[in-house]
Amino acid sequence: MHAAPVVADLVEHPLLRRLVSLGFDDRDFAIFGSGPMLARGLRRDIGDLDVVARRAAWEHACAIGEPRVGPVSGDRAMHFWGGRIEVYARWIAPLLDTDELIDGADVIEGLRFVRLEHVLAYKRALGRPKDLADIRVLEGLHQLRTRTATVRRLVPAIA
């Protein structure tokens, strides 16, 4: 679990307020899709919320949600709030381990958000036109972090 910068009034977003009101065990789910970008101030808004859940959170989602089939993976999904919140037992990309996504998530204002490198990989893999702007933002951020990390490694060697 990693600390991340806080975005003002994040938990006041209607989708996040609704998610919190569902009462999922906060150790057993993480927000994916574009939610992690919203949490870090990289998106101004989102139209829906994608959640990956395990154990108690998934069982609770199945008990209270509306069963659906995920449009990309065909996996079982639980819908809330007219489908604006979708909860999955595993993420769409089968190579991403649910436990790793949740346990490695950044905690921002008490909610777990999947790390941005996973969001970038997912959006690249789907290659949807609606994701292109997000991909550019995430790639730019990734390049900046890579350059910064390289400079930090070189500074001690120079000194």
Residue with tokens 């977003």: 13
The yes-or-no verdict on residue 7 having pLDDT over 90 is no
Mean pLDDT of 46-65: 97
In a domain, 46, yes or no: yes
- Residue 77 maps to which CATH number? 3.30.460
In a domain, 147, yes or no: no
Mean pLDDT of 98-112: 96
Q: Nearest Cα to 64, choosing from 20, 23, 13, 16? A: 23
**117, 105 in Cβ contact below 8 A?**
no
pLDDT at position 91: 81
In a domain, 143, yes or no: no
> pLDDT-based confidence at 150, cuts 50/70/90?
very low
Strand partners, 66: 79
pLDDT at position 81: 96
pTM above 0.95, yes or no: no
Q: How many domains does the chain have?
A: 1
The yes-or-no verdict on residue 86 having pLDDT over 50 is yes
pLDDT at position 11: 86
Distance CA 134, CA 1 (A): 24
pLDDT tens column, 117-141: 999 988 998 889 999 999 999 999 8
pLDDT at position 73: 79
> pLDDT-based confidence at 147, cuts 50/70/90?
low
- Identify the residue with better confidence: 38 or 72: 38
- Domain span holding position 78: 2-115
**38, 80 in Cβ contact below 8 A?**
no
